[in-house]
Amino acid sequence: MGGKLKTRKRIKTLQKIAEMDNSPIDYTTSALASHLNVSKATISNYRKVLRAEGLIGKQKRVQIDGGDWMISRDLFDRLPAISKFTSWCQRDKLVPTEFTNRLYDICRATATAPDKLITSLEEAEILYDKFTQIWLKKYPTKMLDRYNRAIRKFLVFNQITLPPNSKVMPSGTESQGEYSRVRLSDVEIADGLKWFQKNYGDDWSTLFGVHHEIFARPAIMMEWTPQVEIAYADVDGKSYQYGTTEVFEKKTEKHYDKLILNPHVLKLIKELPKNKPIIDLDKAKISTTYAEMLREYYTDIGKLEPNAKYKKGVDGWMFFNRPIYAIRHSAALMWMRRTAFNLELVSKMGWDDTKTLSKFYARTTVKNIMQAGTCYYCRPPLEKSDERLFCSAVHALAYLNGGRIESV
């Protein structure tokens, strides 16, 4: 029995090495050994077997300044073009790895030194188009937004002027508004708080709840340290508590004021230790874990089908491929419902302008137009739904805290 298990494990390891060695990325022996939990000697021996059978080719090597940067991220980061760019990002209060990780992928996949990317705009476009073809062949359903941002930022730093409507490396998102109705209902949000608490504990439930209230971008949400001030609003002779906070978005380099109306979420925040992020783990680990949890919850409530593959442009693609970002979309629509679909107010909480919000996150429908004037607090509809509407944020606050105006 033990011999069969060893044989199956060996075959699986050989298959994985062949898969990774035939990908656009040139993996080092150390990287493969660490990923597959085997020794470097084992990787080297298995590679010899695979090469002898013609299942993998020779490993690529590109020598730059005496260092083989294609198989060493440390050497890549020490290249002058990258180290200068990293320092600039740090001075500009940006997270360098959000750009250098993507630049590393681009350079390795195209076997191109970063210096060559910045010789001219034409050269950069040729090389990036080559990377795009490699990427789309391997990941046909994944977006290139982050890679677009990385190479554009790198070129701008190196004083290469970009055309405003570049088709090779476009600014903004590839989306044309297909995901502007991606959302969880109020019932699904409330159920999600319970689901996370039951399956993964209070901290993860808090992250899910706060994320819906303040809808920070994923990278910011993973490291956000709660600093919430308590305020009060008087509504029809009663005083209701809510939270205010501020989020700095590195992408737009702006501070945004946020509100926390959900009393259950506010209670969870009060119970958190001070001056610590909600989940006290490495940011990358939080992101990976949270994404998997969200996919699990989305599957439980029917947003995703088990083992299904989704094409770009459908809600399922967003829920599966960008599960954390789907919360930002969902929260945008939730806040639109809380404020009588007031684009001006909601955009000030997280976007540069109303156009971005309305096109990509919270498209108003004819149904929303017909719902104008509805408020579950002061003018409740005869037929209730699981997506509550309000004439103002203060009436949403009152309702969430149990306040009601009874119909006469």
Does residue 167 share a domain with residue 88?
yes
Distance CA 397, CA 392 (A): 9
Distance CA 15, CA 83 (A): 36
200 within domain boundaries: yes
Of 380, 408, 384, the residue nearest 396 (C-alpha): 380
Does residue 120 share a domain with residue 9?
no
Pairing assessment for the beta strands 238-249 and 229-235 based on DSSP bridges: antiparallel
Residue 375 confidence (pLDDT)? 95
Q: How many domains does the chain have?
A: 3
Distance CA 233, CA 260 (A): 12
CATH number for the domain that contains residue 11: 1.10.10
178 within domain boundaries: no
Edge to edge, the sheet with strand 229-235 lists 229-235, 238-249, 254-260
Give the pLDDT confidence of 27-57 residue by residue, as tens digits: 667 767 767 788 888 888 888 888 888 877 7
pTM over the 0.75 mark:
no
List the pLDDT tens digit at each of the 408 positions of the chain. 445 556 778 888 888 888 877 765 566 677 677 677 888 888 888 888 888 888 777 654 444 333 356 666 788 888 999 999 999 988 887 788 889 999 999 998 888 889 999 998 899 889 988 998 888 777 765 678 888 889 999 999 999 888 767 777 776 555 566 777 889 999 999 999 999 999 999 999 999 999 999 999 888 898 888 889 999 999 999 999 999 999 998 777 789 999 999 999 999 998 888 788 899 888 778 888 999 999 999 999 999 998 888 887 888 888 998 899 899 999 999 999 999 999 999 999 998 888 888 887 778 777 877 877 899 999 998 888 889 999 999 999 999 999 887 554
Do 338 and 394 contact (CB within 8 A), yes or no?
Answer: no
Residue 26 confidence (pLDDT)? 60
Does residue 193 share a domain with residue 105?
no
Do 350 and 332 contact (CB within 8 A), yes or no?
Answer: yes
- From 17, 39, 59, give the residue that closes a domain: 59
Does residue 278 share a domain with residue 354?
yes
Distance CA 124, CA 137 (A): 20
Report the half-sphere exposure of 279 (CA within 13 A, side-chain side).
26
Does residue 310 share a domain with residue 363?
yes
Q: Which domain holds residue 45?
A: 1-59
Does residue 158 share a domain with residue 23?
no
CATH number for the domain that contains residue 277: 1.10.443
Please report the DSSP string for 278-319 in residue order: SS-S-HHHHHHHHHHHHHHHHHHTTSS-TT----TTSHHHHH
Does residue 169 share a domain with residue 273?
no
Does residue 374 share a domain with residue 282?
yes
Pairing assessment for the beta strands 238-249 and 254-260 based on DSSP bridges: antiparallel
Residue 27 confidence (pLDDT)? 66
């808090």: which residue's tokens?
206
Give the pLDDT confidence of 108-146 residue by residue, as tens digits: 888 888 999 999 889 988 998 899 888 877 776 567 888
Does residue 287 share a domain with residue 246?
yes
Does residue 235 share a domain with residue 369?
yes
